Amino acid sequence: MNFDLTEDQQVIADLAEQILAGQMSVDRLKVAERGAGWDPDVWAALAEANLVSLCLPEHLGGSGMGAIELALLAEAQGRNLAPVPLVPTVVTAMAVAEFADAGTHDELLASVVDGSILVTSALASPGVNDPLVPGVRATPTSDGGWRLEGTKPAVPYGAESAAVAVPAQLADGTSLVALVRTDAPGVTLDAERTTNHQPAASLTLDTEVAATDVLGTPGDEAAEVTRWLYEHTVAAMCSVQVGVAEGALAMTAAHVSDRQQFGRPLSAFQAVTQRAADAWITTEAMRVTSRNAAWRLGAGLDARRDVSVAAWWATDGGQKVVTACQHLHGGIGADVDYPVHRYFLWGVQNGTTLGAASAHLARLGGLLARS
């Protein structure tokens, strides 16, 4: 048993932190918020440092790392609020590398590796947040491909991506996961703005894909691919949330130590200190549960429960931490010229993106009840 990071992992974490902390000034964040919602230059810097390709196989130009290393990048992203498509693009590319027929998408992946294109997945659904909930229907075409029809909301970086992995349901109730080119005819992406200002789009499909664009095998086994995408995405989002909580708390600790009311620093009031300490405890619970989930995913172990446990902490706990930090700042935190509100917006965004806390509990409860 060793819960510590390896030396290599620590190097990765330090490198990601160094790049993101160096680039992400408040001014840069404001430019992104007012414009495209994200920062392509930071993404280019990550690609340049071989961090975009870190978790892709070596034969595709990557470093062959896995979910735990992605978790470290994601924590650094959250801490620095870097508006880049880390989770959707890396997880989707990992899935393509893992499940597509060998050699079919190497060119696409090479362009992901060098940072010139983005890819994403359409996993959200309104309300219940079950990626398999019928939103898109798939029917076989005469030439062995598939016709896809339906809508998926809130696809992160949908309009910015070259391809989207979309789970779809077949008439017999089984499913497939298709990699859809966004420039194909019959693919519509309508931009939506999100709570933390990063881009998202609703995806409407009335299009066809070739057999080689299906990840894995259509039918019962495809549910595994969907689950893989969902679990890796949720686990990585949990790590982003850890970074968000950590960043918010660091800013809050500095503020309550500095600001004086009633002739003493706010931190001299126990109500303040205890709330901040509770937030720290929650953040550490988020960290250990998300790292455990990522490690199990990376090790190829069953991580269903672990992902749900981490997701519950990240949604319920994460929102509690950012709410506490916002509150402990008082009125100054409510003014968008002061930076703490960004952690709040990110915390809320991450906390709702792939299901509210109750949805993760329901999922975990279901797993427990069935076993």
Ligand X SMILES: Cc1cc2nc3c(=O)[nH]c(=O)nc-3n(C[C@H](O)[C@H](O)[C@H](O)COP(=O)(O)OP(=O)(O)OC[C@H]3O[C@@H](n4cnc5c(N)ncnc54)[C@H](O)[C@@H]3O)c2cc1C
In which residue are the tokens 């126990």 written? 270
Residue type, 361: L
Binding mask 241-280 for ligand X (x = CB under 6 A): ------------------x-xx---x--x-xx--------
What sign does the dihedral 203-208-210-211 (CA atoms) show?
A: positive
Check: CB of residue 166 under 8 Å from CB of residue 172.
no
> To the nearest whole angstrom, how small is the minimum distance from the Cβ of residue 331 to ligand X?
3
**Sign of the C-alpha dihedral, residues 264, 336, 71, 325?**
positive
| Interface with other proteins, residue 18, by CB under 8 A | no
Q: How far apart are CA 251 and CA 67, in angstroms?
A: 28
Q: Which residues are CB-contacts of 11 (< 8 A; sequence separation ≥ 6)?
A: none
3-class secondary-structure state, position 169: strand
Name the DSSP letter for residue 53.
S
In the complex, minimum distance from the CB of residue 334 to ligand X, in angstroms, rounded to a whole number: 5
**Which does residue 129 touch among other proteins, ligand X, none (CB within 5 to 8 A, set by kind)?**
other proteins
Token pair belonging to 169: 């349901």
Q: Is 311 in the site for other proteins (CB under 8 A)?
A: no
- The candidate with the shortest Cα–Cα distance to 126, out of 317, 356, 313, is 356
> Closest distance between other proteins and the C-beta of residue 345, in Å?
7
Map 339-371 to HEC letters: CHHHHHHHHHHHHHHCCCHHHHHHHHHHHHHHC
Residue 341 touches other proteins, criterion: CB under 8 A: yes
Site string for ligand X, 200-239 (x = CB under 6 A): ----------------------------------------
| Closer residue to ligand X (CB): 104 or 323 | 323
The interface region with other proteins, picked from 127-135, 215-223, 245-253, 277-285 by CB under 8 A, is: 127-135
Binding part of the chain for other proteins, among 47-55, 118-126, 168-176, 224-232 by CB under 8 A, reads 118-126
d(CA 176, CA 166): 8
Q: How far is the CB of 309 from other proteins (least distance, A)?
A: 17
**325 near ligand X (CB under 6 A):** no
* Residue closer to ligand X (CB basis): 66 or 265: 265
Query: Which one of the spans 80-88, 192-200, 219-227, 229-237 is the region binding other proteins (CB under 8 A)?
Result: 192-200
Segment interacting with ligand X, rule: CB under 6 A, options 137-145, 147-155, 218-226, 322-330: 322-330
- Residue 172 makes CB contacts below 8 A (sequence gap 6+) with none
How many other CB atoms are found less than 10 A from the CB of residue 356?
18
Binding-site partner at residue 292 among other proteins, ligand X, none, CB < 5 to 8 Å by type: none
328 binds ligand X per the rule CB under 6 A? yes
The entry of other proteins, ligand X, none that residue 277 binds, CB within 5 to 8 Å by partner kind: none
Pairwise CA distance, residues 293 & 306, whole Å = 5
Alpha-carbon gap, residue 37 to 47, rounded angstroms:
19
Question: How many angstroms separate the CA atoms of 351 and 286, rounded?
Answer: 12
The residue with its CB nearest to ligand X is 330
Name the residues that contact other proteins, by CB under 8 A. 33-34, 124-129, 153-154, 192-197, 200, 260-264, 269, 271-272, 319, 323, 326-327, 330-337, 341, 344-345, 348-349, 351-359, 361-362
Name the residues that contact ligand X, by CB under 6 A. 259, 261-262, 266, 269, 271-272, 327-328, 330-331, 334
